[in-house]
Structure 1
Amino acid sequence: MNGKATRIELLSLRTPQMRAFHLSWMAFFVCFFAWFACAPLMPVLKGEFHLTPAQIANINIAAVAVTILVRLVIGPMCDRFGPRKTYTALLALGAIPVLGVALARNYETFLVFRLLIGAVGASFVITQYHTSVMFAPNVVGTANAASAGWGNAGGGVAQGAMPLLLAAVLMLGVDHALGWRLALLVPGVLMLAMAALYWRYAQDCPQGNYAELRARGIAIDSGKKGGWDSFRAASANYRVWLLFITYGACFGVELFIHNVAASYYVDRFGLSLGSAGMAAASFGLLALFARALGGWLSDKVARRRGLDARTTLLFVLILGEGLGLLWFAHADHFALALAAMLAFGLFTHMACGATYALVPFIDRKALGGVAGIIGAGGNVGAVAAGFLLKGLGNLQLTLSVLGLVAVGAALCAIAIRFSADHKASEQALYDNALAN
C-alpha cells in the first residue's frame, strides 16, 4: 500500500499520515464554520435587510448550490495537483467572500456573497481524498469518517458560537448593524491562517508531494487518472451514482437542517436567538463522534462479511434517519423536537460516515472523481430540499417529505453490489496492508 498507515495514532504528528489526518479535519472544521457562520445570525439579518420568506429560501439555496459544481471539479484537481496545493488554494481564495460578506449592503449583495461562500463546502472532498490516500483499507473507513465528522462539527460550533460572538461584540457598545459584520470577519481570518498551516506542514501522500514524485518518475498509488479522465471513469460507474443519491439523502438533509434549524426553533417554539442557536448546535456537534462511529462500524462489519456488509449497514442507517426525520417533523413540543432531532441526527451523521467508508473501494484509480461526484450529491440534496421548502412554503411539511425521500433512498444502498474479482482484489490489498 506504499506506506499507507494501518493504525490511527491520534496523539502523534510525527508521520505524514497523521499530520494529513489532523490538518485535513481542522481545515474542514474551519471551512464548515465559515460556510454556516451566517445561518444562526439569520434572525438578525432578516431584520437588517428586510428579508421576505422567499428571499431567505433563495439565500439558503445559494449557500449550497455552487458547492455542487466546485465539488465535481475539486476531486479531479486533487488527482492532478495533489490535496496540499488544492486545499491551500481553496482556503485562501475562499476566505475572500467569507470576509467580503461583512460588506453586504442589501439582499442582492448578501445573496452573491452567500453563493460564493458555498465554494468552501468543497473542502469536504479534499479532506476525504487526503485521508483516503494516507490510510490502509483496514482503517480508512474510520479515518475518513473521523476526519469528516470532526470537521463537520464546525457547522455545529458556528450555530452556537456566532450568536455568542455577536453578543460579545455588542457588549463593547457596537450596534447590531456593525456587530454582525465584525463577528463574520473571524471565520475569514481563521481560513487564511489554516491555508498557511496546510501549505507548510502537509504533504500529498505517504511518498511525498505529487509534483516531486512525478518529476522523479515515481508512480503514485492514487490519482493514476487525473482531471477529466478521473471524472469520466467515476461517472461511468453506477455505484457512484447510487452513492450520489444516498449522500444526498443524508448529507443533503444535514446541510438543510444547518440552514433552517435556528430559525425553526425561534419561529415555532419562541426560543431566543441564543437558545435556538444552542439547540441547533447540538445537531451539528453530533458529528464529533457520530460520523466516526459510522465509519468505524463500517470497518468493523467489513472485517467479518466484506464489502457487502458496508452497503447493508448504510441501508439501515439511512432508513433510521428517514424514520427519525418523520418523528421530528411531527413533534409539537420543544423537548420532543430536540430529542427527535438528536435521534435522526445520529443516524444522519453515521450514514454520512458509512457512505465515505465505501468511497475508497469504488475505483481506486479515479478516487478524486469518485469522491467529488458523491460529495456533490450531498449538495444536490440540500438544494433540492431548499426548492422543496420554497415550493411547499411549510417547513414541517417539507421535513415530512424529506423523511419519506430518505426512506426511499435507503434502497439505493442495498442495490450496490461488487463483483467477485473486485472483492478478491480488495481482500488482497487488505491482507497485504496488515502483513506490512
Structure 2
Amino acid sequence: MQDQPGIKLLSFSGKMKILHLSWMAFFITFFVWFNHAPLLAVIGDSLGLTGAEVKTLLILNVALTIPARVIIGMLTDRFGPRNTYAALLAICSLPCFMFAFATDFNTAALSRFLLGFIGAGFVIGIRMVSEWFPANELGTAEGIYGGWGNFGSAAGAMSLPMLALWFGGEDGWRYAVATTGVMSLIFSVIWYKNVSDTPKGSTYFKPKQTGAMEVTSKGDFALLLIMKLPMYGALALLTWKLSPNGVSMLGAETAYAIYLGLGALYLLEAYQAFKVNRSIFTTPVAPEHQYKFKQVAVLNVLYFATFGSELAVVSMLPLFFADVFELDMVYAGMLASAYAFMNLASRPGGGWLSDKFGRKRTLMILTAGLAAGYGLMAQIDSSWPLALAVVAAMACSFFVQAGEGAVFAAVPLIKRRLTGQIAGMTGAYGNVGAVVYLTVLSMVSYSTFFLVIAATAVLGLVALLLMEEPKGEITEVREDGTVELIRVG
C-alpha cells in the first residue's frame, strides 16, 4: 500500500506528497475561514457595524460548519477526497470574494454564514490520509495533517493585517481578504491535478448507500439517533443567540420558525437513517462486517471537549489576559497566540503517542491532563505572575491539541468506507462544543468557564472506559464481491 516505510517529512513523493498537499489544503481552508478575525476592527469601521453586529459575524462564521462537516463527510465517502476538496476550495472562494467586497451588514453576514462551509474541509483530508498510510503510521500522519493545517488560522492572524497595510487605503482589508479567496481558487486546481484518492492498485471503498450513516445493529441505530441530538441542539442555541433573547438579528417569529424547521429536519434525518439501515431490523449483519458505533460516540464526546474548548479558548484568551492582568489588547493577543502555536507540535505529538502506546491509553492520559489543565487555569487570577499564567495556558493547550491528534488517530480505524462520515460527525461535535462553551462564557465568570470545560473532560474520561482499543482487521468488500482485510492494530 505504501511506497516507503516511515514518515519522512522532507520527502515530497508518494504518500508524503499526499500528506503535504493535504495539510496545505486544510491550512488554506482555515486561512480563509478565519480571514476576518484579525481585521474585525477595521472591517467594523469600514462597514459601520455596531458591536452586536460584529459579534453576530463571529457567530455566523461557525454556524454552518456543524451540518457542513456531516454533509462533506458523506460527499467525501461518495465522490472521493480528490473531487470533494477541489470543489470545496473552488466554490468557497465565491463567498470569500462576496465578503471582501460587501458594502453592508446583510451582505457581510450572508457571506460569513456561507463561509462556514469551508470549515468542513478538515474531514476530507482525514479520509485521504487514511487511504495512504498504514495503521502504525496513521496517528502521526493525521496529527501532522491536523496540526499543520490548523495553523492556517494563526498564520492568517499574523499575516493578513500586514497584507492589508501593504495594500493600503480604506480598502486594504478588502484586497487582503480577496487574496485568500484567490489562494483557495488556485490551490483547488493544484490539488486536483496532483493527487489520487488511493495509491495505485488500492481500492477506494464507498458506502453501500448514501444519505445517512450505516450502522450494524439495532442498539447502534438508537445510539446514532441520540448522538444526532446535540448537533441540532447547538444549532437551536445559535438561533437563540441570534434571536431577541441575544443579539436580535432574527425576529422572534423567524426564530420560532427555525426551531420548528430544525425539529422537522431531525425527524427527516431519522427517517433517512431508518431507510438506509432498514435491513438490520430483519437480517442480522455478519459479525465480520459489523462495527461498534459506541466507538464513534466516545470520540464525539472527546472532540467536543478538545477541539470545542480550543475554538472557545482561542476566541476568549486575549480578552482573558487583558482583563485579569490589565494588559492592552495587542500585547494580550500576542501572549494568547502561544496557545494556538502549540498546534504545530502538539497535535502530531498526540498522533505519534497513539501510534506508539495505543489509542485508548493515550486518550486516557491526555484527557486526564486536559481536565487538570483547565482546572489549573480556573485558578488563575491577578495575583499570579503573568509568565506563570502563560505557561499554564500553554501546558493546558498541549493536552487539548494532543488530545485532538489522538482522537483522529482512532477515527480512521473504525470502518474504512465510512471514514468521511465518522470524521464529519466527530468534527461537527468540536463545533458543537465551541457553541456550548462560548454560550456558557457569556453567562458565567472566567473561572467557572474553565471549570465547566474541565468537568466535560471528566465526562469524556468516563466515556473512554467504554471504548475498545482498535485491533486486528476490519473487513471491506470490493465492487467485484471479493473481501479485503485492512489491518488496524
Place the TM-score, normalised by the shorter chain, in its bin: 0.7 to 0.9
Is 2:198 aligned against 1:205? yes
Q: Which runs of 5+ in 2 are unaligned?
A: 225-292, 476-484
Is 2:6 aligned against 1:7? yes
Change (3 A) 1:89 1:65: same
Partner of 2:344: 288
Partner of 2:114: 116
Shift of residue 314, structure 1, vs aligned partner: 0.9
Change (3 A) 1:97 1:35: same
Identity %: 34
CA contact (8 A) 1:141 1:356 kept: yes
Q: Give the Cα separation in 1 of the matches to 2:409 and 2:346.
A: 13
Partner of 1:306: none
Is 2:189 aligned against 1:196? yes
CA contact (8 A) 1:91 1:192 kept: yes
Change (3 A) 1:45 1:145: same
Change (3 A) 1:395 1:164: farther
Task: Point out the more displaced range, 334-343 or 54-63.
Answer: 54-63
Amino acid at match of 2:415: D
| Deviations 1:107-126 (CA, angstroms, capped at 9, x unpaired) | 44333222211111111101
Shift of residue 276, structure 1, vs aligned partner: 3.9
Shift of residue 270, structure 1, vs aligned partner: 5.1
Is 2:474 aligned against 1:423? no
| Deviations 1:249-294 (CA, angstroms, capped at 9, x unpaired) | 1011112233333444455555455434433332222111110000
Of 57, 64, 67, the match for 2:65: 67
Q: Which runs of 5+ in 1 are unaligned?
A: 209-218, 303-309
Amino acid at match of 2:370: E
Change (3 A) 1:292 1:130: same
Q: Give the Cα separation in 2 of the matches to 1:393 and 1:166.
A: 36
Shift of residue 230, structure 1, vs aligned partner: 4.4
Aligned counterparts, 1:19-418, within 5 A: 19-47=17-45, 49-52=48-51, 54-169=52-167, 172=168, 174-175=169-170, 178-207=171-200, 220-225=203-208, 227-228=210-211, 230=213, 236=224, 237-266=293-322, 269=325, 271-272=327-328, 274-302=330-358, 310-333=359-382, 334-390=386-442, 392=443, 394-417=445-468
CA contact (8 A) 1:91 1:191 kept: yes
Q: Give the Cα separation in 1 of the matches to 2:337 and 2:438.
A: 20
Number of equivalent positions: 403
| Deviations 1:366-414 (CA, angstroms, capped at 9, x unpaired) | 2222111111111111122232234x06555433322322232232223
Partner of 1:216: none
Q: Give the Cα separation in 2 of the matches to 1:185 and 1:221.
A: 36
SS in 2 for 1:423: coil
Amino acid at match of 2:13: R
Compare the two structures and name the one with the higher helix fraction.
1
SS in 2 for 1:8: coil
Q: Give the Cα separation in 2 of the matches to 1:228 and 1:13.
A: 36
Amino acid at match of 1:10: L
Q: CA RMSD in A?
A: 2.8
Q: Give the Cα separation in 2 of the matches to 1:180 and 1:270.
A: 29
TM-score by length of 1: 0.83
Amino acid at match of 1:149: G
CA contact (8 A) 1:326 1:400 kept: yes
CA contact (8 A) 2:197 2:204 kept: no
SS in 2 for 1:416: coil
Shift of residue 40, structure 1, vs aligned partner: 2.6
CA contact (8 A) 2:98 2:108 kept: no
Change (3 A) 1:36 1:202: same
Q: Give the Cα separation in 1 of the matches to 2:110 and 2:180.
A: 18
TM-score by length of 2: 0.75
Q: Give the Cα separation in 1 of the matches to 2:332 and 2:103.
A: 26
Change (3 A) 1:189 1:127: same
CA contact (8 A) 1:4 1:135 kept: no
| Deviations 1:18-56 (CA, angstroms, capped at 9, x unpaired) | 22111100010111111122223334445554433x545
Q: Which has the higher contact order (CA 8 A, sep 6+)?
A: 1
Shift of residue 426, structure 1, vs aligned partner: 6.1
Q: Give the Cα separation in 2 of the matches to 1:301 and 1:129.
A: 23
CA contact (8 A) 1:158 1:281 kept: no
| Deviations 1:72-112 (CA, angstroms, capped at 9, x unpaired) | 01112112111000000110111112222222334443332
Shift of residue 64, structure 1, vs aligned partner: 1.7
